[in-house]
Amino acid sequence: MRTRTFIIVGLTLAILLGGAGALYAYDSSRGDVIAEGISVAGIDIGGLSPAAARSRLEAQYLSAIEKPIVIHHDTSTWKLGPREAHIQTNVDAIIRDAQARSDTGNIFSRSYRRATGGKVTADLTPEVTFSDRAVIRTIDKVRRAVNRKPIDAKLDISLAGFKKVRSRDGLAVDASALHKKINAAIVSATGKRTFVAATKHQTPAVTTKELAQKNDTVLVVNKSTFTLKVYKRLKLSKSYKVAIGAPGHETPEGTFFVQNKQINPVWSVPNSPWAGELAGTTVAGGIGANPLKARWLGVTDGVGFHGTSDDGSIGTAASHGCMRMHVADVIDLYPRVPVGAKVFIHS
C-alpha cells in the first residue's frame, strides 16, 4: 500500500515538473517577442522581434522625422535638414523599454496572457533631441529675408520744393510662433513639416493720413519764381505773387514756422544803416510811415509776410528780407494760416 502511494506521488510530481518545464520552454520561446498592444509614437510593434520592430520604426518613424523642415513665404523657401538640425532619437532604448514591458508579471501571468492573446497597452514616446541653435539660425534667415521696417510718412523737402513720401506698413515674421512650429514638427512623425511663416504687419508711427493732419497748412515760397503757394492737407489751396529780399538783404532759405500774426502790425525798425533816422525805433501800425501794411505773419528774425503799398515791387527782389504781398492778398492769406504752420523757402 505504501509503495503504491509513493508511485502516485512520483507520477504526480513528474507530471507537474514536466508541465513546468513546458511552461518555462513556452515562456522562453516568447521572451524575444514584443507584447501585443505596445506601440511607439502610434506605430504598432506588438508581436515583433526587436530587430523587426527596429526595421518598422526605421521605415515609418525615423524616415519621417528625418525629412527636412520646409518654410515658405511668398516665393522664398528655406529648409532645415536632419543633419543641420542634429536630429537624434533613442529607438534602441525605446525597443528595450518595450521588451521590459513585455516581460512584466510572472511566468504564469505572462504565459497566460500570451496564450490567450492578451495585450500590454502602451504607446511609447521616443525622445528626440535636436539643435535649437540650428532652429534659431534658420528663423534668423527667414527674418532677414522677410522683415522690413515700417516707413513713416513725411515731407521730403529739398531745394526743388517738397514731395509727400507715403507711409508703408512694416512686416515682421512671428518668430515665436515659427519657433514653436519647427520644434513641434521636428519631433513629430505625423505632423506637418512644410508650412508658411506667419507674419505681423507693423504700423508706421506716422501714416499718410496723419501726415496730412500734422501738416494741415504748409507755405512754400519759391524765390526764383516769386511765388507763395499755400497747401492745405498737402493739396494746393492758393497761390500768390510776392517780392523777396534784394541783393545784400536776401530772404533766408530753409524750413521755418509761422511764429506770430498781427493785424495792422507795429513796425519795430531794425537798427541798421538802411533804416536811417528810424533805426531802432517803433512805428505804429496802420499809418502811412509804416511799410508793413494790413497784416503780418512773422517767420524768423524779423522776416515775415506783410502787405506793401509798393505794388510794383511784387515779383521782384526788392525788400530787406521780408516777403511783400499785395494788400488784398495778405488780407486773404491771413485767416488761411495758423500760427505754427510750416514755411519752406527755397530758390
Q: Which residues are catalytic?
A: 306, 322
The distance from CA 127 to its chain's CA centroid, rounded to whole angstroms, is 33
Of 299, 263, 154, whose CA–CA distance to 212 is shortest? Answer: 154
- Per the rule left: phi > 0, alpha: psi between -120 and 50, beta: everything else, 26 is alpha
Q: Which residue has the cell 496723419?
A: 210
Number of H helices, E strands in the chain: 10, 25
The distance from CA 72 to its chain's CA centroid, rounded to whole angstroms, is 16
**C-alpha span between 27 and 111 (Å, rounded):** 6
**C-alpha span between 87 and 91 (Å, rounded):** 12
With beta carbons less than 8 A apart as the criterion, state whether 116 and 108 touch: no
Burial of 79 from C-beta contacts in 10 A (0-12 / 13-18 / 19+): exposed
Q: Which helix (H) or strand (E) holds 183?
A: helix 175-186
Give whole-number Cα distances, 94 to 38, 40, 45, 52, 71, in Å. 11, 8, 11, 14, 31
Amino acid at the residue 227: T
